[in-house]
Each structure stands twice: as structure tokens, then as C-alpha cells.
Structure 1
Amino acid sequence: MMCPGTRCPNSWDKLSWDKVSLKKRSWNKVSLGVLGLAILGQAILRQAVLVQADLEQGILGKAVLEQGILVQAVLGQGILVQAVLVQTILGQAIAVLVQAVLGQAILEQAVLSRMWWSPKF
């Protein structure tokens, strides 16, 4: 599941990812940095340390952190096709989900209130 070369590609449209079964989302204590690929519970990381992240019965296919802000996360099998988190506050973060496709339903805007960040590597 590691990206070839030294960096993961910016264009994720051409990549395929493992199937997931998503029942509950819970984000906890993600360190600042760039998260490459992660299977929650067991993580494969590039340029960052994942302190704790929990996604029950799901595989996080792709996630990118820019300067401590999670800006894009994608899960496979059409459960969460694309999510862009555009507003966060470190310590007690509020993330606005501006684009997401869940199954066949499209969410224009939603708020994720349970997100915590740890500044320690």
C-alpha cells in the first residue's frame, strides 16, 4: 500500500484502494505533519507520526495533512469518496466537510465536531 518513489502522487483519481465497511467515524490525536497512507489501528506513515486514530471497521485509503490541517481524506468503495476539511482549530478542532459523497447521497456541508490534534511527534 506504500506509494512508489519518495512521495505519494497528488492526483489520487488514478489510484485504487481497498474496500471498506464504514460504520462509525472517530478522529483522535493526529500529529501534525503529512500523513501518507494509514490503516487505522495499524498505520503506515510518511513524514508524520500517527498518535491515535480510530475508524471502526474501515480502512483509511488516503489522507493529507498540510501544516497540521487535514485537507483531504478519501475512503474506498464509494463510502466516503472525497472529503475536504477546510477549517480547523488546533486543540479543539472544528472541521467543515465541504464536499463528500456517501454512497449515492451527496453532502454539501457538514460539521465534524469530534476531532483532536496532538502537536507532539
Structure 2
Amino acid sequence: MQAQPPRIMIIDDEKVVGDMLRIHLTKHGCIVETFLSAAPALARLEETPFDLIVTDFKMKGMDGMELLKTVKSLYPDIQVIMITAFAHLDTAIEAFRGQVHDFFPKPFKIKDLIESIQRALGRPLA
């Protein structure tokens, strides 16, 4: 019996980042949906289960930390990986205290992100 492909949500207000991640993760057999802000992503989570979220830290409206706290309170089993162009030690510490699985400063290597996603899911990607 083959495992279902992982469902991954990407939330980043830079469309190019979401598109790039969607392309790479789709090549690895993932089902990926991208969002430019947190509100529509949270609405989608109410409709469809996801295994993992990759979110930007700094976004208009709800930022990545608020999103992380909301997701962890409503869906504690969903792993969250945070990416940011504003990587400061205080931000990383706050993210890990909020139970983020991993934290990547932009620019990041896609290989490193894929490895982190595999660890978060507990299985290799295709």
C-alpha cells in the first residue's frame, strides 16, 4: 500500500517564492497549494487537511507568528516551517517557542528545505 502524497500549503506574499516552491515540491510528488496571505490559507485549512505549512514570517495582515500560533492551537499535528528575509535571532527564538519545526532565512537552498520537509513529515519525498 502506497502512502498518500503529502499535502503542503505555502503562504508567502511574494508570488514568485510560492510558485518556485510549488514547482519544486510538485516534482517531489507533493500536492501543493499556494496563498499570498494567511486569511485565505486558514479558510482552506477548514475545508481540507494539510500535512505541512511553509510560511513567510513578514506578511501583510496576519504575520507568520500569528499564523503559527493559530495553526498550532487549531491543528496541533500540522508541521510548520517558517521562511523569512528578516532573520534575526529573536525572531527565530520566538518561532521555535511557537513550535515551528524549522526556520530558514531567505535566500535558502531548496535542497535544505526539502530535507527539512522530509524530517517534518517523517518520510522521504518522491
| TM-score normalised to structure 1 length | 0.29
More helix by share: 2
More strand by share: 1
| TM-score normalised to structure 2 length | 0.28
